[in-house]
Each structure stands twice: as C-alpha cells, then as structure tokens.
Amino acid sequence: MTEPAIAVRDLVKRFGGRAVVDRVSLTVACGEIAGFLGPNGSGKTTTIRLMCGLLTPDSGSGTVLGRDILREGAAIKRDVGYMTQRFSYYEDLTIEENLRFVAGLYELPDRQAAVSATLADLGLTSRRAQLAGSLSGGWKQRLALAACIMHRPRLLMLDEPTAGVDPKARRDFWDEIHRLAAEGLTVLVSTHYMDEAERCHRINYISYGRLVATGTVAEVVAGAGLTTFVLAGAGTARAAERLRGMPGVDQVAPFGAALHVVGHDAVALRASAAAVAAETGTTLTPSETSLEDVFIQLMGQAQDNVA
C-alpha cells in the first residue's frame, strides 16, 4: 500500500458528556512502528478502539488500511490484530487449544496448519500442551501476540503489551515486533516505557484526549525546547530543595547520585543551577534532554479534561 496504514482526522469520542478523545488526528505509514504515549486516562485505549472498529467516533473521519472507519468497521477488524492490556485468553486451555479457538473465530481454511505455523513462528511449539494459566507473564504475552498475528493481519495494535513483564521478556518481545515490521507489518503500540518508545520509528504523545506531540524521538525532544543540566556530588539532596521554584527550573529529579534539572528558559535555568551548585559544592554540567524529561514536561502542561 502506498497510502498510510492509518490516516484519521479530528476523532472525537465522548462518554458522559466528556470528550475522552478530543479532535485527534493521526497518520501511520505502512511498515512503520508507531509509538503511542500518554499518562493513564489520556485516551490511548479509546483511540485505538476507534481505529480498529470496536468503537464508533462521535465525529471525525479517516481510513485504516484503506477502509473507512465509519462504514467499514467490520472489514477493518479482520485485517487488524489487537492485543489488549490484559491477558484475555482461556487460562484453563492449553496454548494450542487457545490458538485453535482463535483460528475458528477467524474461520481460517486450514486451522491446524495455521496453528502449527504460528506455534513455530513464535517459539511456542515445545509448550503447546501447557495450560495458559500456568504461563509466566512473558509467555502469556507471547501467546497473546501469536493469537493476534495468526490470521496474518496487515496492522497490529498493541495496548501496553509489556506491562508487568520482566526486562528480558520485554526485549525479546520488541525484537519480535521489529522482525514482523521488517516483513511488512505495520504496528501501533501504546507504552509507558521510555526505552520502548525510543525503539519506535515515530512517536505520538496524547494527554487528556488531545494529541500534543508527534514525530521521531529526536524531533519530539528538539520540539520541546528544553535545556537540561546535571548536578553531582554529596550536596545534591540540599541542591534539590533549593532549586525547586527557582527561576527557569521546571523539573528537578534525582538520578542515582546525580540530579537532573530541566527547564524552558535556558539562561535563567543556568543561572539558578550555577548558583545552587556553588552554594552546595556540587558540580554542574550540561546534558542531553531525555524523552522522559519531555514526557514529564508535557504531562505538567496538559489540562485535565476531568477537572
């Protein structure tokens, strides 16, 4: 496909009179791994459900895999793999039995062949007879991914897929996602982990229902216009107390034995940080602004649509 896998404009979804999704426009290119970031309650899950045909927007328009989200929701569902936040398969069935059930739902023509191929593809063949309820978090995640891709979707939507999974399983999962994307699958994944966001080709940040930043990680960090300094030494605890509320200081955060100080006004920030460093006997050095710094800044600037 030459057209984007996802191209939606001004999506709005209200619940109880409140706009949970508020004029969100999003474009994801075919073969791209797009990150979807935002705090809890920001509207990520609702937006994903609007795009994969599970919910109908109150207003807005767009296409997913070339199909109209308002009129062709059922067709979109068949070409999308959707992995929910929580494990949603039968814990009293084996891995193979769960996959056979999913193959039946999609009415795959040769179900056993599809199940066997998927087991092999995701490294599950040796565990095919293991009950899903006895699996660790990482293996449950692998089973859920297997069930999502068995019908060979063109678009995969993952809603915080690695929550509660250990770092090794998370890395293995992301290696699998990049392998699938290299084969042509488009992926939209929501996450709270900054290291995962940095593995995406592009990221989209949503806060309280509104999309507030989009681009590559480098573009989003540069667009935030933040300056970061690091204070190090024995006096960082006292330095943190002094820095809060000073001119130019937007964020003060301990990182091990060091202190990260972040702000928009570079001149005022440097003056405040230098004064406190001299007062507390700490060393002051400039540093690169991290995606986490930007994430926290955007959260602080956003207006709570519940309040």
Confidence (pLDDT) at 304: 56
Rounded to two decimals, what is the model's pTM?
0.87
Confidence (pLDDT) at 303: 57
Q: What is the mean pLDDT, run by run of 10 residues, along the chain of 307 residues?
A: 89 93 95 92 92 93 95 91 87 95 92 94 93 91 92 93 83 90 94 89 93 94 95 95 95 92 96 96 95 88 56
Tell me, letter by letter, the H, E, C secondary structure of the chain. CCCCCEEEEEEEEEECCEEEEEEEEEEECCCCEEEEECCCCCCHHHHHHHHCCCCCCCEEEEEECCEECCCCHHHHHHCEEEECCCCCCCCCCEHHHHHHHHHHHCCCCCHHHHHHHHHHHCCCHHHCCCEHHHCCHHHHHHHHHHHHHCCCCCEEEEECCCCCCCHHHHHHHHHHHHHHHHCCCEEEEEECCHHHHCCCCEEEEEECCEEEEEECHHHHHHHHCCEEEEEECCCHHHHHHHHCCCCCCCEEEEECCEEEEEECCHHHHHHHHHHHHHHHCCEEEEECCCHHHHHHHHHHHCCCCCC
Q: Which CATH number fits domain 227-288: 3.40.47.10, 3.30.930.10, 3.40.50.720, 3.30.70.600?
A: 3.30.70.600
Confidence (pLDDT) at 302: 59
Domain extents in the chain: 227-288
